[in-house]
Structure 1
Amino acid sequence: MRKFCFSIFLTTLVTFAFAQKSMISGKVTDKNQNPLPYASILLKGTVRGVQSDLQGNYTLKDLPSGQYFIQVLLLGYEEFEVPVELGAGEEKVVNLALTEEPIWVNSFELLSSRGILGQEKLPEIENFRINAGKKNEVIRVRDIDANLAMNNSRQIFARTPGISIWENDGSGIQLGVASRGLSPNRSWEFNVRMNGYDITPDPMGYPEAYFTPPMEVVEKIEIIRGASSLQYGPQFGGLMNFVLRKPDQTTRFTAETLNTFGSNGLFSTFNYVGGTEGKWSYTAYYQKRVGQGWRENGYFNTDHAHAEVSYAASNKLKLGVEATYMTTESQQPGGLTDELFNQDAQQSIRSRNWFSTPWFVPSFSAQYIISPATKVEWKVFGTIAERNSIGFMRPINQEDDLGSRQVDRDYYTTYGSELRMTADHRLFGISNTLAAGLRYFNGHIDRKQQGVGDAGTEMNFDLAPGQAYPRDLDFRNTNLAAFAENAFKFSDKVLVTAGLRMESIQSENQGQFGVSNGAPVILDPVSRARSFILAGIGAEYHVTPTSEFYSNWSQAYRPVLISDLTPPATIDVIDPNLKDAKGFNFDFGYRGNIGTVFHFDVSYFYLNYNDRIGTISQIDLMGQSYRFRTNLGQSISQGVEAYLEFDPITAIFKSSRYGYLHVFASLAHVNAEYQDFLVTSIVDGNVVERNLAGNRVENAPRKINRYGATYRFKDFSMTWQLSDMGEAFADASNTFEPNAAATTGLIPAYQVQDLSASYTLKKKYTLKAGVNNLTDERYFTRRAGGYPGPGIMPADGRTFYTTFGIRF
């Protein structure tokens, strides 16, 4: 009996294995039989798909028998479908010939091969979301001539109008960007994600982006301005999503190594493998980056690792798992006074400050196609991470006494889940697409601060013997959300979107605030629960097949953060009725292209930021002064953002044997001002009031202009870029003259240039080189009030880099 059962099992296994051997293969060509690489070959209504290789060949393996429709997508060519009947164990050859189509408004990627290297926009409906009617940009990172080894954000965001950047992190570990007068502090006004899931400690309680993936593995950066609040989250800045390079669908195995050498001892090695075999796809990378930094005491040593595996469990179900790990060791040069900066911006008077952010982000995803019109996606993700610092933290105009250093440590443990769905349907005879989703997030932050560390010079986060943390706080945040947005396509020219997002937030903060006269000071526990609804509406009107008007109005909010609930001193008081900041974003613009020679996106924006949180001085009933944190007022940012790119050679000569020249301008005028915003101070025991109405919002330059030109000839390209930035203030009082600690005062205007080039030989060997800050300008973009300062944080001067790469 046992032998009979084993025989049945073996027969079943062999039959199953044989049934999985069915496959479809072939070649994708144009009408002249020239091979077309990188065409997407999809089995319509399934999760299965591959890309054609450099010779146009493709293979779809391990397919069950049945009736299929092969769908072929390639920008610049008409969408192609062909039915295929596949029998059990059959190997069928299906060759596919495509015909060219006109360049439509969504085909910006094609323009790079025809003379324009423009800023793309997202498709109207894609990847479980609706992008129509929204101000958005797509940055194709690998197509940019830039110092990607160092995550040079000035070059990476050059073509994205209105992006302000804090350029004080010469190690490339952290990214600080913002738009429309918002703060660039670790990009915290953006909803920062990677591959569609959260990578910050807590988007609702502590949204600072300590982790940035290496740009050498980032395929693209998707930016949706404030209108993303319905589908992703409430942030005023919108969504910034890093999309990592996906597994190579053209081969079983590919490998790439990029090795960069540069100024100040820079060495970076990036190594990548990936491929597709039947139902399985995989990718992995490892990056090591070390250097001394442009400034004294600026050492950094970082390691990044990532692995991703996906499996087509059936024709309708695809499963994926990925994990990312980062470890950092970074010496912080600290800030400078204005006098020290003018003497020598490279100097540092802080030699014992260190910073580290171990970061682990796992995720699981599942995609299921219910029908050709309906599909769902489920993501589960988490973050296990730390933020650690040690150093001499006092104002920069105080000399380091070489005594015990202060240790601050955060421990982040978060997990979340998002379920998203899109469904095509008809309503009142109109074609519609519905996007809907549910979100759950649970965040926990264990904050330990003001610990007494050692008196050494190396990175060591251990406390001195017998010491404990005076401040030990526990912050928990739970978020439930649901959204629904519908795109109504009234005609080929008119599309309208409308939607709602429901939010429920529960925040708790408790623990020990400090120690007074040897006794612990316990913080009164704070618990806040709130629920509300956000609304939004948008529209597109296609003026021509290649241009459109777009507009969007969408509500946004910024929750009360952990820093808002934690008083900096024992005498400070938190308003028990402290509210989340709320407001809205509005956009109206016109975008598109004229043939293959001119690409544009010009828009007006208006950002209303209500109930901004601040601190004012008060007198209690005993005549004692205290600081009161509450909602103080409003700011409004408005202005114009414009992106223009032109190819003069194609415009004049149609084609050229000597290459093409693309010139671009990314322009923004931002007027960010406070409206009614009360501030107070104590003068001779009395409260003195004044209003910031009419003051400019801090860290918000009015002029954000970038210009550039790219020359391309076959496999060679070179890009020159100029960044022209206006002045800004470091504080809301618009203090012009700097204080002694250099934490307030004017941030002067500056201009800085970059030059980068790349050459690819036989599609296997790569050589890149460049000069950042070509004219060696001395400038700064930030006056820090605390770590990694305090004081002026100089940007890097002139640096060089060279990259050698090979792909197998």
Structure 2
Amino acid sequence: MQLRQTALLYISFLSLASYTTSSALAHSAAIPAIFADDNEGPVLTGGLQGQIRDQNGEPAAGLTIQLKGTVRALSTDANGNFDFRSLPTGTYTLVASGVGIQPLEQKVEVRRAETTTLTLTVQESILQLAEVQIRAAKGLRERETLPEISTTAIYAGKKSEVVNLAALDANLVTNNSRQVFSKTPGVMVWESDGSGMQVGVSVRGLSPNRSWEFNVRQNGIDISSDPFGYPEAYYNPPMQAVERIELVRGGASLQYGPQFGGLLNYVLKPAAQDKPFSFETQQTVGSYGLFSTYNRVSGTSGRLQYNAYVDYRRADGWRQNSRYGIFNGFASISYAVTNKLRLGFEVSQLYNESQQPGGLTDAQFAQDARQSSRARNWFSTPWTVPTLKAEYAISDNTRLTATLHGLVGQRNSIGFTSAITTPDAPDATGQMANRQIDRDHYKNWGGEVRLVSRYNWLGQQHALATGVKYFNGHTHRTQQGRGDRGSDFNLDLQTELFPRDLSLRVTNVAAFAESMFRLNKRWTVTPGLRLESLQNDISGRLSFAANGSENRVSQQSSRQFLLAGIGTEFKLAQDISLYANASQAYRPVLFSDLTPAAVTDFVVDPNLRDARGYSVDAGVRGKFRNYLNFDVSYYFVNYNDRIGTLSLVNEAGRTYQFRTNIGRSVSRGVEAYVEFDPIVALAGRSAVGYLSLFTSLGFTDARYRNLRTTSVSNGQVNETNLRDRFVENAPEFIGRFGANYSYRGFTLTALMNRVGKAYSDANNTVNASANAQTGLIPAYRVFDLSASLNLKKRYTVRAGVNNLTDERYFTRRAGGYPGPGLLPADGRTAYLSVGLKL
């Protein structure tokens, strides 16, 4: 019911926007042409409009037109036109930029109560036939790298990737991660959630568990439940709403946080900047009852921009007991108060209900991977992320950005959570067992201020990026509640209290500074520092004792530390670079580390330390003309002070569990991406279409260099060391091989995903346990086929088949929810989608 009500609310918003936007934005043009700008007193205004054409005299659509040193920017429409309104009088520098053209700058004068009109011509960046360049831009743009300097950060010398979803043939409806990251080498994907509700990815031998080794953001804002106490990402935006995914490995620790994995940032599609009203819709049907509807409105009129979408999808699921319903909503509005200051507000909302089919034993998986013995398990994660943003252009070369953001979310589960070998069946009285309820409530808020400035020194232009971040998070965790005996989704507690009731708090203050020094036109060096202050506090009831008294817990941890890093990049040619960076990282002590288990004689080491280490990258990347893209690199990750539990004996001779720092692991390997267009390379142009061949490879050697384990026998502690064992969930090989064919508005993409074997535990157990929680995760191979057809730049048809050969495989063994047991990946599924843009 709540899912339907929330969806209706957002659909009503879109309907209202569709009805009122045209008239409301038309009135915005009639706002008095007097604004308080950065100087005191009123400023009289005028307008600036024009048309951009290419060297052949054709309209240049989709170019970015920006007024240098301001926050005002637009895109050219289908006819190459742009129109700035309410500009304070004065002299401006107009900058036109886009893929495949040489940036163009033009000074222009804006006069009081007049509209200045321009007609400009842009030149191609490489002198080739326009048809060939359009093909190359489309076929080889699914993957790019971040620029040296953006308005919020410095990326020079870092290993970065940009996944352009608009140019990608993939099943975006269900967030199919193996397709989305098909050209991002070494990305490990957990494929245990066919709904795509939660994306679990990792790199370099780290854990894919809800992407928690990354600093996960949306539009630059933290969206995980708590980056420092419980960093699981229970929310991710629908991929149909995402313009691009930015991934920075390892070296993101200085500017975005200390995580070993780096940065994972979902950038949503921006508001249409070439018209006051734009509408986009995509309707999809597919296997096993899949239905999806995605609808978006956006526009720009004068100083005002707005953007909103609703996305709803449901399906019965490939496995038994795996139906789901997901609603995502987003709305944003921004206003250029002056030419230099833009203010904005945005809010994201998620509501979902998904049935969890539970795990299987290996024998059950071999018999029928689609079966499920858990019909009463449900999961829901309502999520709301409000954000206030401000952007101030101090000068042509200096920009200040500030955000104030919050998070109100929940993690709710109800179900029968015993081992998969214990059937969920009626007892002797014919009644089902009571289900267990676990709930988290998250209330977080924080802010971040960033300053990026370019400056000239010794004849070269350099850049400085600085920032300050504050985070305050509170998690109210209630677990082990007694639920009802039914089968539907509800959170009705059958007892007065939850046995476990904890208050978990995190306070974090951080400051960073990085400076890119340009030694000459080809060589840059970027050193940086990050200062962290972090405090974790836990208090509350851990459990009830047998006599009814409370077992309470109170743990605090406070520390400050400094992280350092340095990166460098050298251009061998205009489009080919050598890069390298080294950056310190840490994984803070999490709530789960500070919370004693619900057993007698459990002790948490009072000197428990954060996991710390560093990562190193070195590689070569670039492109050759319009037919070859590549990025090949070596990496090394040192992960110290991993946290675990040892069995020890106290002075009284009693066994107890001791949670402490127990080991170190090292990951090293090669990540390689190559894409080649043989038709463009050999013929330059073709009347029968174009073909690009690509491969992304990840070779990982992730092993424990030191990992203490203990057992107690006859009162004696026996200690062993799992040195040289492979890190769990870290396959040695991940390879994705594909081909993309395009002809005019038609594209077809074939992808093979090949992943080597992995172990599910640090003991490297090969033979599966009876409960399927440990054992080998075998190698597998999966094929996907996707196609799209664009008609008249307005209509779109997409279709695809995932797991074309109906492979039976799994990527995960779970010790708890959503298992326990082996979690199968989906078999063959298909989808068909039609879309319209106005």
TM-score (norm 2): 0.93
Aligned match of 1:64: 88
**1:781 Cα deviation from its structure 2 partner:** 0.1
**1:26 Cα deviation from its structure 2 partner:** 0.9
1:106-148 alpha-carbon deviations (Å, 9 max, x no partner): xx99774375345200000012100000001000012111111
8 Å CA contact 2:142–2:168 kept in 1: the answer is no
Match of 1:130, SS state, is coil
Q: Structure 2 residue aligned with 1:620, among 645, 650, 653?
A: 650
Runs of at least 5 residues in structure 1 that lack an aligned partner in the other structure? 1-11
8 Å CA contact 1:45–1:372 kept in 2: the answer is yes
Aligned match of 2:321: 297
Change (3 A) 1:150 1:115: closer
Match of 2:372, SS state, is coil
Q: Structure 1 residue aligned with 2:686, among 634, 656, 671?
A: 656
- Find out whether 1:318 has 2:348 as its counterpart: no
What is the distance in 2 between the residues matched to 1:276 and 1:523?
56
8 Å CA contact 2:68–2:94 kept in 1: the answer is yes
- Find out whether 1:531 has 2:522 as its counterpart: no
* Residues 44-59 of structure 1 aligned to structure 2 (within 5 Å): 44-59=68-83
Aligned match of 2:737: 707
Aligned match of 1:484: 513
Aligned residues: percent identity?
A: 49
Aligned match of 1:449: 479
What is the distance in 2 between the residues matched to 1:726 and 1:238?
24
Q: Structure 1 residue aligned with 2:790, among 729, 737, 760?
A: 760
- Find out whether 1:548 has 2:577 as its counterpart: yes
- Residue identity in the other structure for 1:723: N
What is the distance in 2 between the residues matched to 1:234 and 1:655?
47
- Residue identity in the other structure for 1:209: A
**1:403 Cα deviation from its structure 2 partner:** 1.0
Q: Structure 1 residue aligned with 2:698, among 665, 668, 676?
A: 668
- Find out whether 1:611 has 2:635 as its counterpart: no
Q: Structure 2 residue aligned with 1:514, among 517, 530, 543?
A: 543
- Residue identity in the other structure for 1:16: I
8 Å CA contact 2:588–2:610 kept in 1: the answer is yes
After superposition, the CA RMSD in angstroms is 1.7
**1:32 Cα deviation from its structure 2 partner:** 2.3
Aligned match of 2:441: 411
- Find out whether 1:796 has 2:820 as its counterpart: no
Change (3 A) 1:746 1:30: same
Change (3 A) 1:15 1:54: closer
- Find out whether 1:146 has 2:194 as its counterpart: no
The 10-residue stretch of structure 1 (565-574 or 278-287) with the greater mean CA deviation from structure 2:
565-574
What is the distance in 1 between the residues matched to 2:774 and 2:33?
75
Change (3 A) 1:684 1:81: same
- Residue identity in the other structure for 2:816: G
1:537-564 alpha-carbon deviations (Å, 9 max, x no partner): 0100101111010000000000000111
Aligned match of 1:280: 304
Change (3 A) 1:285 1:103: farther
8 Å CA contact 1:488–1:495 kept in 2: the answer is yes
**1:210 Cα deviation from its structure 2 partner:** 0.2
Change (3 A) 1:484 1:215: same
- Find out whether 1:746 has 2:764 as its counterpart: no
What is the distance in 2 between the residues matched to 1:192 and 1:348?
32
Q: Structure 2 residue aligned with 1:226, among 250, 253, 256?
A: 250
Match of 2:618, SS state, is strand
Q: Structure 1 residue aligned with 2:369, among 333, 345, 348?
A: 345
Aligned match of 1:193: 217
- Residue identity in the other structure for 1:116: L
Aligned match of 1:16: 34
Aligned match of 1:6: none
Runs of at least 5 residues in structure 2 that lack an aligned partner in the other structure? 1-29, 36-41, 426-431
Match of 1:155, SS state, is helix
- Residue identity in the other structure for 2:606: P
8 Å CA contact 2:158–2:249 kept in 1: the answer is yes
* Residues 361-380 of structure 1 aligned to structure 2 (within 5 Å): 361-380=385-404
The 10-residue stretch of structure 1 (765-774 or 93-102) with the greater mean CA deviation from structure 2:
93-102
8 Å CA contact 2:133–2:626 kept in 1: the answer is no
The 10-residue stretch of structure 1 (406-415 or 646-655) with the greater mean CA deviation from structure 2:
646-655
Aligned match of 2:805: 775
8 Å CA contact 1:76–1:103 kept in 2: the answer is no
8 Å CA contact 2:138–2:167 kept in 1: the answer is no
Aligned match of 2:727: 697
8 Å CA contact 1:109–1:120 kept in 2: the answer is no
Match of 2:251, SS state, is helix
Q: Structure 2 residue aligned with 1:577, among 603, 607, 610?
A: 607
Aligned match of 1:9: none
1:664-712 alpha-carbon deviations (Å, 9 max, x no partner): 0000100000001111112233211110110000000000000000001
Aligned match of 2:150: 126
Change (3 A) 1:421 1:43: same
The 10-residue stretch of structure 1 (380-389 or 93-102) with the greater mean CA deviation from structure 2:
93-102
- Residue identity in the other structure for 2:591: I
Change (3 A) 1:523 1:423: same
Aligned match of 1:562: 591
- Residue identity in the other structure for 2:613: G
**1:767 Cα deviation from its structure 2 partner:** 0.6
1:757-808 alpha-carbon deviations (Å, 9 max, x no partner): 0001111111111000000000000000100000000000000100011112
8 Å CA contact 2:33–2:45 kept in 1: the answer is no
Change (3 A) 1:34 1:783: same
**1:15 Cα deviation from its structure 2 partner:** 6.6
- Find out whether 1:474 has 2:503 as its counterpart: yes
Match of 1:227, SS state, is coil
8 Å CA contact 1:75–1:109 kept in 2: the answer is no
1:212-247 alpha-carbon deviations (Å, 9 max, x no partner): 100000000000001000000000000000000000
What is the distance in 2 between the residues matched to 1:233 and 1:660?
41
